[in-house]
Structure 1
Amino acid sequence: MAKKPDNLSFEQALVELEQIVANLEQGNVPLEQALKQFERGIHLVRASQTKLSQAEQNVQMLTKDSDGDAQLVDFKSQE
């Protein structure tokens, strides 16, 4: 049984989504199965979007200074 999309890591969901797209693009999947795979893909996309939004919020919180303004720092200067 496949894991719920919410229980997969972002990377696992992306790999599974790529597999679903490849299967559907081949065009040899029966209609009923294609619809189930499409539905699974939609759930994977939504779960992944949620994880990306949460990650973005975490980054924004971590980069705010005491005044509440986001501080952008040149990535190369942190080496």
Structure 2
Amino acid sequence: MSEKKELSFEEAMEQLEVLVEKLEEGDVPLEQAIEYFQEGMSLSKLCHDKLKNIEKKMDQMLLDNGELQPFQIQEDEG
């Protein structure tokens, strides 16, 4: 039994786009459409999880003294 390689964010998005295009064509049998939808939901969750993981990493920035501090984007006031 071989392990399935984990997709990168970009690979998952590409596969998701292909599934959406197939579903938008409208001539997919119901059973196949359900399979595409389920696969699409899995890909969507994978992308969401990867983005959340990156967001957590971005929230932590190293200070000059090596301590971690939450990252905050400063907005212009005006």
Measured against the shorter chain, the TM-score band is 0.7 to 0.9
Structure of higher CA gyration radius: 2
8 Å CA contact 1:10–1:48 kept in 2: the answer is yes
Contact 1:13/1:44 (CA < 8 Å) preserved in 2? yes
The equivalent of 2:10 in structure 1 is: 11
Change (3 A) 1:71 1:23: closer
SS in 2 for 1:28: coil
TM-score (norm 1): 0.74
Structure 1 runs not aligned, ≥5 long: 74-79
Which residue of structure 2 aligns with residue 70 of structure 1? 71
- 1:36 deviation in Å? 0.2
How far apart in 2 are the matches of 1:58 and 1:69? Answer: 10
Q: 3-state SS of the aligned residue for 1:42?
A: helix
Identity %: 36
- The answer for unaligned runs of 5 or more in structure 2 is none
Give the secondary structure class of the aligned counterpart of 2:69. coil
Higher strand fraction (1 or 2): 2
Indicate how the Cα distance of structure 1 residues 70 and 26 shifts in structure 2: closer, same or farther if over 3 A, else same: same
Greater per-residue helix proportion:
1
- Greater relative contact order: 1 or 2 (C-alpha under 8 angstroms, separation 6 or more)? 1
Give the Å deviation of 1:27.
0.3
Report Cα offsets for 1:19-46 as digits up to 9, x if no partner: 0000000001100000000000000000
| Aligned positions, number | 69
Report the Cα offset of residue 7 of structure 1: 1.1
